[in-house]
Structure 1
Amino acid sequence: MLKLGFLGFGEVGYTFAKGILEKGAVCRVYAHDLCQNDGWKGEQIRARALETKVVLTDSVEDLVKISDIILGIVPSKASTSAAQCIAQYLTAGQAYCDLSSASPNVKKEAAHILKSCKGTFVDGAIMGAMATYGFQVPIFVAGEKAEEVAEKLKTVGFNLTYTGPEPGNASAVKMLRASFTKGIEALIVETFYAASRYGSQEMLLEVLADTFDRESFKETVNRYITSDAIHAGRRADEVSGVIEFLKQSDIEPFMATGTYQRLKWSESLGLKEKLKGVTPQDFREVLRLYPQKDSN
Structure 2
Amino acid sequence: MNPLRIGLIGYGEVGRIFTAGLKPGAAWTGAWDLKFADPAQCGEPLAHAAAAGVVACDGVAALCAEAHLVISAVTASNTLAVAQAAAAHIRPGSFFLDLNSASPGTKQQVAALIEAAGAHCVEAGVMTSVPPYGIRVPMLLGGPHAARLQPVLSTLGMDTQVASEKLGVASATKMCRSVMIKGLEALVLESYATARHYGVEDAMIATLQETFPGIDWQKQGSYFFSRVAQHGKRRAEEMREVANTVREAGFEPFMAAAIAQKHDWMAAQARAGHFTGLGQNPPWQALADRLLAACSAANDA
Q: What is the TM-score when the length of structure 2 is the normalising length?
A: 0.62
Is residue 37–residue 43 contact of structure 1 (8 Å, CA) maintained in 2?
A: no
> Residue 30 of structure 1 corresponds to which residue in structure 2?
30
Is residue 80–residue 106 contact of structure 1 (8 Å, CA) maintained in 2?
A: yes
Give CA deviations for 1:165-189 in whole Å, capped at 9, x if unaligned: 1222222222211111233344556
**Structure 1 residues 116 and 10, CA gap change in structure 2 (3 angstroms):** same
- Structure 2 unaligned spans of 5+: 215-248, 253-301
Distance 2:33 2:197 in 1: 50
Distance 2:82 2:193 in 1: 43
> Residue 11 of structure 2 corresponds to which residue in structure 1?
9
One-letter amino acid of the counterpart of residue 21, structure 2:
G
> Residue 113 of structure 1 corresponds to which residue in structure 2?
113
Q: Tell me by how many angstroms 1:203 deviates.
A: 5.5
**Structure 1 residues 199 and 160, CA gap change in structure 2 (3 angstroms):** same
> Residue 146 of structure 2 corresponds to which residue in structure 1?
146
- Structure 1 unaligned spans of 5+: 215-291
Q: Kindly, what percent of the aligned residue pairs are identical?
A: 29
Q: Secondary structure at the match of 2:31?
A: strand
Distance 1:45 1:108 in 2: 31
Q: Secondary structure at the match of 2:8?
A: strand
Q: Secondary structure at the match of 1:41?
A: coil
Is residue 6–residue 26 contact of structure 2 (8 Å, CA) maintained in 1?
A: no
Distance 2:101 2:151 in 1: 22
Which protein has greater RCO, CA pairs closer than 8 Å, 6+ apart?
2
Q: Pairwise CA RMSD of aligned residues?
A: 3.0
**Structure 1 residues 102 and 293, CA gap change in structure 2 (3 angstroms):** closer
Count how many residue pairs are aligned between Structure 1 and Structure 2.
Answer: 218
Give CA deviations for 1:85-144 in whole Å, capped at 9, x if unaligned: 222223432111112222221111111222312211111232322333233322222111
Is residue 37–residue 58 contact of structure 2 (8 Å, CA) maintained in 1?
A: no
**Structure 1 residues 45 and 294, CA gap change in structure 2 (3 angstroms):** closer
Distance 2:175 2:4 in 1: 30
Distance 1:197 1:9 in 2: 39
User: Greater shift after overlay, 48-57 or 191-200?
Assistant: 191-200
> Residue 70 of structure 1 corresponds to which residue in structure 2?
70
Q: What is the TM-score when the length of structure 1 is the normalising length?
A: 0.63
> Residue 43 of structure 1 corresponds to which residue in structure 2?
43
One-letter amino acid of the counterpart of residue 121, structure 1:
C
**Structure 1 residues 139 and 196, CA gap change in structure 2 (3 angstroms):** same
Distance 2:57 2:200 in 1: 59
Distance 2:196 2:62 in 1: 58
